[in-house]
Amino acid sequence: MACRMKGMHADNLQLDAHGRLKHFLAIEGLPRALLTQILDNAERFAPVGDRAVKKVPLLRGKTVANLFFEPSTRTRTTFDLAAKRLSADVLNLNIEASSTKKGESLSDTLRNLEAMQCDMFVVRHQSSGAANFIARQIAPHISVINGGDGRHEHPTQAMLDVFTIRRWKRRFDALTVAIVGDVAHSRVARSEIHALRILGVPEIRVVGPKTLIPAEVESLGVRVFHDLEAGIKGADVVIMLRLQQERMQSALLPSGHEYFREYGLTAARLKLAAKDAIVMHPGPINRGVEIASDIADGAQSVILQQVTFGIAVRMAVMSMVMGTQALGGADAEHD
């Protein structure tokens, strides 16, 4: 499948003729007004989780297929919950047991899912650009949401992260945000950088060892630091990235212990950030590698809140790509 997206913008495919979301494949190239609309709609959906009946009828009668070609717990589960809270029917395709493992092509799998009258595909794939490829192959009435593709983007994770930042910091135009860790292999970091820039964050820093920082990253409008203490000094938001275990088994890093000694977030290091700094992590956390447990569980951590907000943000995106309105609908009783 030739689906890498080097230099390819997804925005022309993502938007319909009226500038509304048709697919949600990448943050890059989207207008600030659209990102703000997602955040505002997520605010309206957030209270649904506090109700006795955690449902609204916006996607009643629609079918959402979760197509996860690589493992995920947090992302798949929150998409699943988001769809069900919108009253959609949900099909979780077990790729490990699916016909793609028996030699069926991806195109044939998509044709069969179309025949089941699905309305939306949530796609997670190890190949960069896979969601874009699928969006170009499927029937026009079906919407595609990217649940993470290769090293390219993870747009809903970025949106739940900036939603969390807005909840605590209210505004973006005076913030310093530090993204720490394996930036080179992180689709989350790429999406976050695009979202933060579009929303007007004046200083975005990436922090990590030279082996884990891509050479061209400064072209995205960020400052590069190889010293953790310098990189988080005065930061309002510190986002720690997951260090993938395979990096510790390669020449990129000596060991998890050595990484923590140089780049792990500890109480002493966090004191260098702004006094009211928040600590974030897309998960899953490697305690004692990227972050000390007392910080992960501490008063400045908003890691669990990110998970909770992820449901509301994904509800907002799913409702928007299906052409429904959050305003009023999220406050309507489910019958």
Give the CATH number for residue 323: 3.40.50.1370
Q: Which tokens go with 48?
A: 């649904």
Looking at the structure, tell me whether residues 149 and 51 fall in a common domain. yes
- Residue 179 domain flag: yes
DSSP one-letter string for 213-266: S-TTGGGGS-EEESSHHHHHTT-SEEEEPP--HHHHTSTT-S-HHHHHHHH-B-
Where would I find the H helices in 22-121? 32-45, 74-85, 106-115
- Measure the CA–CA gap between 192 and 158, rounded to whole angstroms: 5
- Enumerate the β-bridge partners of residue 90: 64
Looking at the structure, tell me whether residues 270 and 134 fall in a common domain. no
Looking at the structure, tell me whether residues 138 and 209 fall in a common domain. no
Question: Of 121, 131, 117, which is closest to residue 4 (Cα–Cα)?
Answer: 131
Looking at the structure, tell me whether residues 70 and 208 fall in a common domain. no
- Measure the CA–CA gap between 81 and 77, rounded to whole angstroms: 6
Looking at the structure, tell me whether residues 26 and 148 fall in a common domain. yes
Looking at the structure, tell me whether residues 195 and 118 fall in a common domain. no
Looking at the structure, tell me whether residues 303 and 280 fall in a common domain. yes
Structurally, the chain folds into a number of domains equal to 2
Question: Of 31, 39, 82, which is closest to residue 59 (Cα–Cα)?
Answer: 82
Looking at the structure, tell me whether residues 114 and 231 fall in a common domain. no
Check: pTM over 0.75? Answer yes or no: yes
Looking at the structure, tell me whether residues 140 and 186 fall in a common domain. no
Between the alpha carbon of residue 279 and those of residues 5, 34, 79, 199, 274, the distances in Å are 31, 26, 24, 19, 11
- Residue 229 domain flag: yes
pLDDT, tens digit only, all 335 positions of the chain:
333 333 345 667 999 988 899 999 999 999 999 999 999 999 999 999 999 999 999 999 999 999 998 878 889 999 999 999 999 999 988 665 554 555 567 788 888 889 999 999 999 988 889 999 999 999 999 999 999 998 899 999 999 999 999 999 999 999 999 999 999 989 999 999 999 999 999 999 999 999 899 988 999 999 999 999 999 999 999 999 998 765 555 656 667 788 899 999 999 999 999 999 999 999 889 999 999 999 999 999 999 999 999 999 999 999 999 987 554 444 544 44
Provide the pLDDT for residue 219.
Answer: 94
Provide the pLDDT for residue 335.
Answer: 44
- Residue 99 domain flag: yes
- Residue 245 domain flag: yes
- Residue 2 domain flag: no
Provide the pLDDT for residue 241.
Answer: 96
- Residue 281 domain flag: yes
- Residue 53 domain flag: yes
Q: Could you give the angle at which helices 303-321 and 32-45 cross, rounded to 10 degrees? A: 110
The CB-side HSE value for 39 (13 A sphere, CA atoms) comes to 22
- Measure the CA–CA gap between 76 and 186, rounded to whole angstroms: 18
Looking at the structure, tell me whether residues 120 and 139 fall in a common domain. yes
Domain range for 172 is 155-307
Looking at the structure, tell me whether residues 127 and 195 fall in a common domain. no
- Residue 301 domain flag: yes
CB atoms within 10 A of CB 8: 16
Dump pLDDT digits (tens) for 251-292: 566 677 888 999 999 999 999 999 999 999 998 899 999 999
Looking at the structure, tell me whether residues 119 and 178 fall in a common domain. no
Provide the pLDDT for residue 139.
Answer: 92
Provide the pLDDT for residue 52.
Answer: 95
